[in-house]
Amino acid sequence: MDGIEGILKRYWGYSGFRPLQREAMECVLAGRDSIVVLPTGGGKSLCFQVPALALPGLTLVISPLISLMKDQLDALTECGVAAGRLDSSMSSKEKAEVFRRLDAGELKLLYVSPERLLMEGFLDSLKARGVSSVAIDEAHCVSMWGHDFRPEYRKLRVLRQALPGVPVGAYTATATGQVRGDIAAQLLLDSPETLVGDFDRPNLIYRCRRRTGAVKQIREVLDRHPKESGIVYCIRRTDVDETAQALAGHGYRVAPYHAGMSDAERKASQDAFIREDVDVIVATVAFGMGIDKSNVRYVVHAGMPKSLEHYQQESGRAGRDGLDAECVLLYSGGDYRIWRSIIEESEPQTAEVGLAKLSRMYRYCTSVGCRHRTLLEYFGQGYAAASCRACDICLGEVEGVPDALVIAQKILSSVVRQQERFGADYTAGVLVGSREDRIVANRHDRLSTYGLLKEATRPVVRDWIEQLAEQEYLARVGEYNVLKLTEKGLRALRGEETPLLLEAPKKKSASKKPFPDVKDDSWAGVDKALFEALRQLRRRLAAEGGVPAYVIFGDATLRDLARRRPVTKEALLQVSGVGLKKLDQYGDQILGEIKRHL
Ligand code: ADP
């Protein structure tokens, strides 16, 4: 039997492991339980798929979503791996065929839903067929502390009793220490090896912009990625419909997706996106779970999500293939208020947690700190580099206002004159000269700072206040987040220190190229015309085979093909992502296309 390197090359055509993949695979081979936490795109599936081929019997994979299972099955079949699935969407004839293959010992991997697994007698029948390892995908669904709790996942503990001695691997992209502990306890894991990957996604470039005109701002992103796939997220269904229509009106190839559409309509949109009949999907957050499309080149949020967990997950759908991709977040104070009113309707305890997460999200938007660093720190990891060179802040796209010190002094002195008894919104109101009842009743329209910043809008001033708090010139105190000056704030007031305040709305726009300076080396040496020709070929092959385009070849493979331009089968096999089965199945057509092109 091949070692795991051999299997990786032969079936997937990859010649190296991603970080922690080898360690995760070795756990399975050694019969140890494991919890593997890798970011989206980190390559979790291979951690159990490769050992499945190295081990003698069957690997059982538990997966929460049928669409996810189908996707993985398609991908495995394309690579020549014998895998099957059992779920409620299949006909009894299809199921019978899977059982036949199981009995004949033909299958190396079997994907099942938790419901299916828990059906009377099913586990016993599997046991008789010889299970050598178990993989639990999306394992955070076990935990109430996770963001996607599924009660039926809790019952998976029966696996431990039903299959004693069989190693169980739990795989997820999101797990805090609390969730990890919960996974181990709920699944009765036996001193599991815990492998936690680096959560930074260096190939993602993050940008935040105050929303000044959504459609225009979205188009700027789309125009940086002609013919490439991307997702535009909206908060509400009506926004989805309007945005999709507006974009279509401008000639973009888009499809809408939200829970108000019928199942058939949603499926049609999703299929069109996966088959690359459309470039852009405009959707609510209902879209994405279970979509493995690896070549999403941009994710635009037309409105702010309600937490950084959501943002990380949704924006993380970009660039799963490791190639550069762009995440743009358009936000407004209005988004904050919509979410706040929704969250406030929930139970007090939930609402409290929800509001704290919401505030943190808004602070991220108006932040002046490196976005990569902020996200990593939020998820409990440190960030060593001084500059990520992959966010609007580090790329210097957002200019500080030239007279930041004077503006800061006006704000700080208003806080002092209001006797440090009011919050950010109120303070902004005083500074822009609002006639609001509260302000007049408090006689703050007579303060010397009243209207001092009236040339700015209230949301802009509020942003500045947030930025001052973020840099610790101001502190928020108590239940009402009352603003108080810190030591640093006093120094700024005396002119001894100058804060950074962002221009809002930001004036300097992102450069036309999505990836300025050296980041864009993934295109180095790529023959773009050939890339385009191969992309068309991939679309045809996908349509013929009835599988998603990226299942045939990822963008990384297409670029490598268009860079190396192999003309023999031997050379073709050197390209990353071309294994034996794909060589056999598509080799001639690819070589033909390349030769024609040359
Ligand atoms: P995850 O489930 O962690 O989000 P996937 O398993 O879907 O990630 O992998 C993301 C993409 O990376 C897939 O296209 C996969 O084929 C590719 N990939 C995984 N491991 C490797 C590797 N060692 N070398 C190259 N590509 C890889």
Whether residue 184 is found in the same domain as residue 231: no
Whether residue 178 is found in the same domain as residue 42: yes
Evaluate: CB of 42 within 6 angstroms of ligand 1: yes
Residue 151: the pLDDT is 85
Query: Residue 116 pLDDT > 60, yes or no?
Result: yes
pLDDT digits (tens, 9 = 90+) for 235-250: 999 999 999 999 999 9
CB-CB contact of 149 with 75 (8 Å): no
For residue 369, how far is its CA from the centre of ligand 1 (angstroms)?
Answer: 30
With respect to residue 399, please indicate whether it lies within any of the assigned structural domains: no
Span 357-371, mean pLDDT? 87
Phi/psi region, residue 80 (left: phi>0; alpha: psi -120 to 50; beta: rest), is: left
Whether residue 229 is found in the same domain as residue 279: yes
Whether residue 228 is found in the same domain as residue 85: no
For ligand 1, atom 19, the nearest C-alpha belongs to: 43
Among candidate residues 329, 344, 378, the one where a domain is terminated: 378
3-state secondary structure 212-267: CCHHHHHHHHHHHCCCCEEEEECCCHHHHHHHHHHHHHCCCCEEEECCCCCHHHHH
Whether residue 218 is found in the same domain as residue 188: no
Q: Tell me which residue range forms the domain holding 484.
A: 404-504
Which CATH number does the domain housing residue 491 bear? Answer: 1.10.10.10
Span 506-515, mean pLDDT? 49
Residue 406: the pLDDT is 93
With respect to residue 512, please indicate whether it lies within any of the assigned structural domains: no
Whether residue 89 is found in the same domain as residue 189: yes
Beta bridge partners of 280: 230, 254
With respect to residue 395, please indicate whether it lies within any of the assigned structural domains: no
C-alpha 429, offset from chain centre: 36
Evaluate: CB of 22 within 6 angstroms of ligand 1: no
Whether residue 452 is found in the same domain as residue 471: yes
pLDDT category of residue 379 using cuts at 50, 70 and 90: confident
For ligand 1, atom 16, the nearest C-alpha belongs to: 43
Residue 260: the pLDDT is 93
pLDDT category of residue 67 using cuts at 50, 70 and 90: confident
pLDDT digits (tens, 9 = 90+) for 166-206: 999 999 987 677 788 889 999 999 999 999 998 889 999 99
- The percent of residues in the chain predicted with pLDDT above 70, rounded, is 95
Query: Residue 1 pLDDT > 50, yes or no?
Result: no
With respect to residue 515, please indicate whether it lies within any of the assigned structural domains: no
With respect to residue 446, please indicate whether it lies within any of the assigned structural domains: yes
Beta bridge partners of 134: 60, 168
Q: Higher confidence at residue 226 or residue 518?
A: 226
Which CATH number does the domain housing residue 585 bear? Answer: 1.10.150.80
Span 390-405, mean pLDDT? 86
Whether residue 237 is found in the same domain as residue 368: yes
Residue 290: the pLDDT is 64
Span 26-31, mean pLDDT? 97
pLDDT digits (tens, 9 = 90+) for 124-148: 989 888 999 999 999 988 887 666 7
Number of domains present in the structure of the chain: 4
Q: Higher confidence at residue 349 or residue 221?
A: 221
Evaluate: CB of 51 within 6 angstroms of ligand 1: no
With respect to residue 383, please indicate whether it lies within any of the assigned structural domains: no
With respect to residue 385, please indicate whether it lies within any of the assigned structural domains: no
Whether residue 182 is found in the same domain as residue 208: no
Closest CA to 112 of 93, 135, 80: 135
**Closest atom of ligand 1 relative to the 8 alpha carbon:** 23
Beta bridge partners of 84: 110
CA–CA gap between residue 383 and residue 199 (Å, rounded): 10
Whether residue 259 is found in the same domain as residue 350: yes
For residue 43, how far is its CA from the centre of ligand 1 (angstroms)?
Answer: 4
With respect to residue 397, please indicate whether it lies within any of the assigned structural domains: no
pLDDT category of residue 357 using cuts at 50, 70 and 90: confident
Among candidate residues 142, 177, 196, the one where a domain is terminated: 196
Whether residue 468 is found in the same domain as residue 550: no
Evaluate: CB of 40 within 6 angstroms of ligand 1: yes
Range in 212-216, 518-522, 539-543 the model is least confident about: 518-522
Q: Return mean pLDDT, the chain.
A: 90
Among candidate residues 159, 176, 196, the one where a domain is terminated: 196
For ligand 1, atom 2, the nearest C-alpha belongs to: 44
Whether residue 63 is found in the same domain as residue 8: yes
- Cβ neighbour number for residue 509 with a 10 Å cutoff: 10
pLDDT digits (tens, 9 = 90+) for 515-539: 554 445 678 888 999 999 999 999 9
